[in-house]
């Protein structure tokens, strides 16, 4: 809570930069959060109003979270705070078709006395269509900040849960004091995850149970109508599940099915054909071979904004047998296909958007660039970030483009968006301006201080944040010739105190450092991957543990020990 307040305070200060804190506290708003003005003019910037439109020099005037005008001859009101946009490029705010940012999974319910695993209550079995993402969402989540920093202004927030997790909410990533809710019950989140140790326990059971829930929701509605019109009819049993399904069976609310793979996509489409709901496929990772099937189904599509790692491709060795070479080729081929999928989807004329569920915000733009290097057009990429999700979510009246009357959701960059080195300087969400520090990489390079000056060796004090709390230690890196080696200390997982491990596979590329180390705990060895960007004496990155997750990793180079090298 403290942290949230602090952040809010910082944002407030950024927004009203020149106001001294004393003055703010002197006003009737003791929190200091109230804005001085909600009118902004970003003058003389290069504005890209919609995908495919060329950038034109213009001023964008916004007030009360609405775009008042875009043009060259706007008369600016006195209260407008002017942001000189001469060197800036403005794009419509990005829209995340399905997001897990800021979502906390509700606690699993206690199993009641005499619990029968073959016939559990809906709520325990993960069938909770009445739940809403807005109740699980908190704008203070780290991923929310990170997502906004990447240019995302609007999200469809997806609840976490079982096979029918609940309804999604469309939220704007704006003021921390607002509910930011644009549309509730936007779609019904479903997936093929079974419940642990109870019915339905597998995707096979989930498909059967989904049919059961759907058919009985229809019958319940039918009984209700009969009850309302005919006397002497038995009172229909109305359950939260069937009530919450009624909008779905009436076609008002689509089902957002998480279907990463080809076979799962087909399974969702089969259910859709049998039962007749409106279908949005989300989280697609592998779909290259069945784009025609997806197209024929008329389902809407949200692909995962992530491309597979190229590590194993790069790790292929030179001198291998013919048989191994043939296997290498197949992996390469699979990789090339995977990164070219988005482009194929575009060419097939499917107006897809993205989902960031399960992704790291810091990697989103990198993944998008890989897709663009492999067939996705710039216009297609922009559409997938803006107009397509607006259409899919049914919010294009007020979102997706820069137009008079639309929501003031903007991304302001230092160069044309997809150009190497372009950085996001401001993100405007619902009329609130978020400022971001530019990294000085470009400057440093311009001054002739290239990669060579990058200081990797030395003793780094690091800190990580994980659900277990924060921890830290010392990372010591030595350089011999062109190779790096070293050790890392960390909290001993099998007891108290610290232990250490050698680091391996240290790679430095540009200002990016990656390495691994192995943690042994209760007989198991877990590989931990650290990757981060070094600027000066600080490193910012992530610590990833397979099947567990990624956590923030920060380190600073301890100055006293460098001279010892």
User: What are the residues binding other proteins (CB under 8 A)?
Assistant: 116-119, 196-205, 207-208, 211-212, 215-216, 219, 222-223, 226-227, 230-234, 236, 262-263, 266-267, 270, 288-293, 296, 308-309, 311-312, 315-316, 323, 326-328, 330-331, 333-335, 337-338, 344
126 vs 486, beta carbon nearer other proteins: 126
Q: How far is the CB of 236 from other proteins (least distance, A)?
A: 7
116 vs 561, beta carbon nearer other proteins: 116
331 vs 438, beta carbon nearer other proteins: 331
What would the DSSP string read from start to end of 149-213?
HTTEEEEEE----STEEEE-EEEE---TTS--EEESS--EEE--PPPTTSSS-SHHHHHHHHHHH
CA 446 – CA 452 distance, rounded (Å): 14
261 vs 487, beta carbon nearer other proteins: 261
229 vs 560, beta carbon nearer other proteins: 229
Q: How far is the CB of 193 from other proteins (least distance, A)?
A: 12
Q: How far is the CB of 282 from other proteins (least distance, A)?
A: 20
119 vs 560, beta carbon nearer other proteins: 119
Using DSSP's 3-state secondary structure scheme, residue 353 falls into strand
111 vs 479, beta carbon nearer other proteins: 111
Q: How far is the CB of 277 from other proteins (least distance, A)?
A: 16
Q: How far is the CB of 503 from other proteins (least distance, A)?
A: 22
Number of other residues whose CB lies within 10 A of the CB of residue 123: 17
Burial classification of residue 35, based on how many CB atoms lie within 10 Å of its CB (0-12 exposed, 13-18 middle, 19 or more buried): middle
Q: How far is the CB of 281 from other proteins (least distance, A)?
A: 17
255 vs 392, beta carbon nearer other proteins: 255
- Give residue 458's region: left, alpha or beta (phi > 0; psi -120 to 50): left
Provide CB contacts within 8 A for 557, sequence distance 6+.
Answer: 455, 458, 459, 460, 537, 538, 539
6 vs 521, beta carbon nearer other proteins: 521
Q: How far is the CB of 527 from other proteins (least distance, A)?
A: 14
User: Token pair of 436, please?
Assistant: 């971001």
Residue 113: CA count within 13 A, CB half-sphere? 0
328 vs 418, beta carbon nearer other proteins: 328
Q: How far is the CB of 210 from other proteins (least distance, A)?
A: 10
8 A C-beta contact, residue 356 and residue 96: yes
Using DSSP's 3-state secondary structure scheme, residue 19 falls into coil
Q: How far is the CB of 202 from other proteins (least distance, A)?
A: 4
51 vs 283, beta carbon nearer other proteins: 283
Element (H, E) at 228: helix 203-229
115 vs 443, beta carbon nearer other proteins: 115
Burial classification of residue 290, based on how many CB atoms lie within 10 Å of its CB (0-12 exposed, 13-18 middle, 19 or more buried): middle
Q: How far is the CB of 123 from other proteins (least distance, A)?
A: 17
Q: The sheet that has 169-172: what strands, in order across it? A: 94-99, 152-157, 169-172, 181-183
Of 368, 353, 362, 260, give the one whose Cα is nearest residue 307: 368
**Looking at residue 452, what DSSP letter applies?**
G
Element (H, E) at 429: strand 424-429
Number of other residues whose CB lies within 10 A of the CB of residue 79: 11
Q: Identify each DSSP E strand in 37-111 by its residue range.
A: 39-47, 56-63, 66-71, 81-84, 89-92, 94-99
Q: How far is the CB of 298 from other proteins (least distance, A)?
A: 15
Q: How far is the CB of 234 from other proteins (least distance, A)?
A: 6
8 A C-beta contact, residue 99 and residue 147: yes
């Amino acid at each position: 809570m403290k942290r949230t307040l602090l952040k809010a305070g910082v944002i407030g200060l950024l927004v009203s930069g020149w106001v001294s804190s004393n003055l703010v506290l002197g006003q009737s708003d003791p929190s200091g959060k109230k804005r001085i003005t909600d009118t902004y003019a970003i003058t003389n910037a290069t504005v890209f109003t919609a995908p495919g439109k060329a950038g034109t020099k213009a001023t964008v005037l916004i007030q009360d979270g609405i775009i008042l005008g875009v043009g060259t001859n706007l008369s600016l009101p006195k209260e407008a705070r002017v942001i000189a946009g001469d060197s800036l490029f403005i794009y419509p705010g990005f829209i995340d078709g399905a997001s897990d940012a800021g979502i906390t999974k509700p606690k699993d319910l206690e199993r009641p006395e005499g619990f029968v695993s073959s016939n559990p209550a809906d709520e325990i079995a993960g069938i909770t269509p009445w739940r809403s993402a807005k109740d699980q969402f908190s704008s203070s989540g780290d991923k929310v900040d990170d997502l906004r920093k990447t240019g995302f202004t609007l999200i469809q927030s997806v609840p976490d849960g079982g096979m029918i997790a609940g309804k999604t909410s469309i939220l704007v990533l704006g003021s921390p004091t607002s509910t930011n809710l644009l549309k509730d019950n936007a779609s019904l989140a479903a997936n093929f995850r079974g419940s642990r140790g109870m019915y339905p326990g597998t995707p096979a059971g989930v498909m059967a149970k989904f049919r059961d829930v759907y058919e009985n929701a229809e019958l319940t509605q039918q009984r209700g109508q009969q009850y309302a019109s005919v006397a002497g009819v038995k009172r229909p049993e109305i359950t939260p599940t069937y009530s919450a399904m009624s909008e779905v069976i009436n076609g008002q609310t689509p089902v957002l099915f998480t279907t990463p793979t080809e076979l799962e996509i087909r399974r969702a489409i089969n259910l859709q054909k049998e039962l007749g709901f409106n279908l949005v496929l989300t989280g697609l990772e592998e779909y290259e071979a069945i784009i025609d099937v997806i197209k024929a189904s008329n389902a809407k599509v949200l692909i995962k904004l992530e491309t597979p790692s190229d590590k194993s491709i790069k790790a292929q060795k030179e001198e291998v047998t013919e048989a191994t070479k043939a296997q290498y080729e197949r992996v390469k081929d699979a990789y090339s296909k995977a990164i070219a999928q988005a482009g194929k989807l575009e060419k097939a004329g499917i107006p897809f958007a993205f989902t960031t569920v399960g992704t790291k915000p810091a990697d989103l733009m990198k993944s998008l660039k890989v897709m663009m290097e492999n067939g996705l057009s710039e216009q297609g990429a922009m559409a997938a970030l803006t107009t397509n999700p607006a259409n899919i979510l049914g919010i294009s009246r007020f979102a997706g483009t820069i137009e008079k009357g639309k929501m003031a959701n903007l991304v302001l960059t230092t160069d044309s968006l997809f150009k190497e080195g372009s950085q996001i300087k401001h993100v405007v969400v619902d009329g609130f301006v978020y400022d971001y520090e530019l990294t000085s990489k470009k400057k440093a390079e311009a001054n002739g201080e290239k990669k060579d000056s990058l200081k990797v060796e030395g003793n780094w004090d690091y800190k990580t944040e994980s659900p277990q709390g924060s921890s830290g230690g010392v990372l010591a890196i030595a350089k011999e010739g062109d190779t790096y080696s070293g050790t890392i200390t960390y909290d001993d997982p099998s007891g108290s105190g610290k232990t250490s491990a050698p680091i391996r596979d240290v790679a430095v590329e540009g200002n990016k450092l990656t390495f691994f180390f192995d943690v042994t705990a209760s007989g198991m060895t877990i590989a931990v991957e650290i990757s981060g960007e070094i600027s000066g004496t600080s490193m910012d990155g992530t610590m990833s543990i397979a099947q567990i997750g990624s956590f923030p990793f920060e380190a600073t180079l301890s100055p006293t020990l460098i001279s010892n090298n």
